[in-house]
Structure 1
Amino acid sequence: MGKIKDLSIRKSIILYMAVSLILSFLASAAVMLAAVRIQKRVWIKYMDASAYAQQADFTFQDSIPRPGAWEMTDADRFISEACDFLETYSSLVISVAGTIAAVFLFYRNKLKTPLQELSEASGRIAKNELDFRIVYTSGDELGRLCGEFERMRAELERNERKMWHMIEEEKALRSAVAHDIRTPLAILQGYQEMLLEYVPEDALDKDKMMDMLQEGMTQIERLKHFVESMRTLSGVEQRKVCPREMELSALQRLVEQSVSFMAETAGKRYMVSCKN
């Protein structure tokens, strides 16, 4: 059965039709022979006694005269005419019936399952449902077509997963960009507001002003470095970590410088503590 299933569609059609024709021929021959036998049994009833005695040992291949239609009863006449019809047209009727049966079996065994699989698969793909598999396996053309369709579905599923991964990466990248830009901009804004408020009134000494300008340049360099890094960056995972050693006290001063002006502008208190 497996070998028949793996036959090509052309060879399968030839096989089904050949079997159908052979069976139709045998069935037609059997029906015609049965019709001849039944018809002769009807005719023999209308032979005269002497002729019947001479034909006592007849075979159905022997010639038996056909009685006239007026001699037979209605039932015998109907049976005789039905046998005539079967002898004449049984081969045509059985051949047509056998061909229809062969086509039906060919469709059921070779076409129905793969066509259903492909139809359901195309419908689900059209709805963007890719979480399924095409399980039909065969060595014929439709089996190979189902295999190609399954490979196409798997490729679409992989591409969809890649797309969602890229979307998640883009979200993470936007979040990282917003975080890395927000802090230096907030510090620069705090410095700028303080300068605009206190410089006209000469409320800042020179050293304080230089510290603010120096810290502002530090934040500008930080932004320039960030922009240069983002220029060639296409994903968060491509960001390179470049660690460097720093004294804990220096890190504490750096954090205090970054936070002090923001806290003062926002009216907040803060405390930075370090433990060795």
Structure 2
Amino acid sequence: MIYMLIFVLIAGLLSVITITGVGQIRNNMFLKYNASYTSADIENPAIIYNMKDFNTDYSYKDQQIIKLCSFLDSWSILIFFGLATLLASWLFYHNKLKQPIRTLREASQKISGNDLNFHIPQASEDEMGQLCGSFERMRAALEDNNRQMWRSIEDRKQLNAAFSHDLRTPLTVLRGYADFLNKYLPEDKISKEKLLDTISTMSTHILRLENYVQIMGEAQKLDDISVAWTKVEVSVFLEQLSSLAEFLAREQSLELSFENHISEPSLYLDTGMVTRIYENLIANSLRYASQTISVRFEMDEGFFSITVSDDGKGFSSQDLKLATTPFYTSRTEAEESHYGMGLNICKVLAEKLGGGIQLTNHKSGGACVKVWIMLHQS
């Protein structure tokens, strides 16, 4: 509007100057060929309109000048206002649109080429600047989504590698026993007791393989879980979590303690995911605790957190680095029923809920696992 206003004023001024100028030229031309009239006579339109005998025998050159003056008198307003519109548009494009359009075109070409390692500057706060800002937010979102996708792919590769590695042992054992039976059973060199013992061992490893397949299926489905936020009463929900921990620990002589540092009466949470995270934290502590397990619920800066501590042996330096990776078990772990997926499930679900997980050791000994998730507003 400012550009148009300025150029319209300029166009109006030039139109007035042009019309006045060509009028003066025509008057002078008239006086040149009609010497009996004066300038005062020309300024009176009634005299000019009623004159029938004034000289119109102009030279060819003067006729062309008069035609040009008539043309400018009739079309100067349209010409100047048209040029003003074109110049205002061109100047506005050059100053306001050209660089943002070029920036957006280059950005779209890079995005189409899957190159997101750049930044889109926002040079102004006008509409084009806001559009550049929107493109930058879109680029950042795409970059973040790509990063998460690649991380998911790498995690899936790591999961498959771990799964393949852990399958190797039971498959090797089963193949060894199968070769043993194929070699000695036809020759009746295996006693009944040895045969039954071999079959029992093979059944154990087959069951282990079945459990691996089930755990692997659950791990593959973690990325497909959708978040379902619901409003929950804090006191009721935490009471349910406390009861769940007591139920899980019913067969062990352990002392459970619970601390609630949340003052809000209600929160928006995905209760299913939170409960699943909580179950894995409790199960992990039950495996290593000696006498006590403490659970603390907190809320800080928009995050809901659960901290589960025990008085066991704590994490080793290697555990602190790798315990949240899939199928990780300590070298000293003797339980074959433990597949090393609990803390990995906590990590995946916590990140899906906008949070994370932290593993530490108490100064007095024992492990401490904290999981925090972002609270949903409504």
TM (norm. structure 1) is 0.64
What is the CA distance between 1:128 and its match in structure 2?
3.4
Say whether residues 1:241 and 2:329 are aligned partners: yes
Structure with more of its chain in strand, by fraction: 2
What is the CA distance between 1:150 and its match in structure 2?
1.5
Say whether residues 1:156 and 2:142 are aligned partners: yes
Structure 1 residue aligned with 2:11? 24
Structure 1 residue aligned with 2:25? 38
Say whether residues 1:140 and 2:126 are aligned partners: yes
What is the CA distance between 1:26 and its match in structure 2?
0.8
Structure 2 residue aligned with 1:179? 165
Structure 2 residue aligned with 1:188? 174
Which letter does structure 2 place at the counterpart of 1:137?
Answer: A
Match of 1:170 among 151, 156, 159: 156
Q: 1:137, 1:147 within 8 Å by CA — same for their partners in 2?
A: no
Q: 2:33, 2:56 within 8 Å by CA — same for their partners in 1?
A: no
Cα deviation code 1:172-231 (max 9, x no counterpart):
222221221122212221122113322443545799878867865775576466456545
Q: 2:159, 2:326 within 8 Å by CA — same for their partners in 1?
A: no
RMSD between superposed Cα atoms in Å: 3.7
Which letter does structure 2 place at the counterpart of 1:239?
Answer: F
What is the CA distance between 1:138 and its match in structure 2?
2.0
Q: 2:174, 2:202 within 8 Å by CA — same for their partners in 1?
A: yes
Higher mean Cα deviation, 118-127 or 161-170? 118-127
1: CA distance between counterparts of 2:78 and 2:210?
Answer: 92
Structure 2 unaligned regions, length at least 5: 49-53, 223-323, 335-378
Match of 1:68 among 52, 55, 79: 55
Residues 228 and 84 of structure 1: CA distance in aligned 2, closer, same or farther (over 3 Å): closer
What does residue range 104-119 of structure 1 map to in structure 2 within 5 Å?
104-119=90-105
What is the CA distance between 1:127 and its match in structure 2?
4.2
What does residue range 221-236 of structure 1 map to in structure 2 within 5 Å?
223=209, 226-227=212-213, 230=216, 232-233=218-219
Cα deviation code 1:236-260 (max 9, x no counterpart):
82434334289xxxxxxxxxxxxxx
Higher mean Cα deviation, 142-151 or 98-107? 98-107
What is the CA distance between 1:122 and its match in structure 2?
3.6
Which letter does structure 1 place at the counterpart of 2:21?
Answer: A
Which letter does structure 1 place at the counterpart of 2:83?
Answer: A
Which letter does structure 1 place at the counterpart of 2:94?
Answer: R
Count of paired positions? 226
Cα deviation code 1:66-100 (max 9, x no counterpart):
75221x22212222332233233322221222122
Say whether residues 1:87 and 2:175 are aligned partners: no
2: CA distance between counterparts of 1:225 and 1:82?
Answer: 98
1: CA distance between counterparts of 2:182 and 2:73?
Answer: 117
Higher mean Cα deviation, 102-111 or 189-198? 102-111
Structure 1 unaligned regions, length at least 5: 1-13, 247-276
What is the CA distance between 1:116 and its match in structure 2?
3.6
What is the CA distance between 1:28 and its match in structure 2?
1.1
Larger radius of gyration: 1
Q: 1:198, 1:204 within 8 Å by CA — same for their partners in 2?
A: yes
What is the CA distance between 1:25 and its match in structure 2?
0.9
Match of 1:103 among 89, 95, 99: 89
Cα deviation code 1:139-161 (max 9, x no counterpart):
11222122112211211121112
TM (norm. structure 2) is 0.49
What is the CA distance between 1:24 and its match in structure 2?
0.5
What is the CA distance between 1:167 and its match in structure 2?
1.5
Structure 1 residue aligned with 2:247? none
SS in 2 for 1:164: helix
> Identity over aligned residues, as a percent?
36
SS in 1 for 2:181: helix
2: CA distance between counterparts of 1:92 and 1:107?
Answer: 22
SS in 1 for 2:325: helix
Cα deviation code 1:92-112 (max 9, x no counterpart):
221222122222323333333
Structure 2 residue aligned with 1:259? none
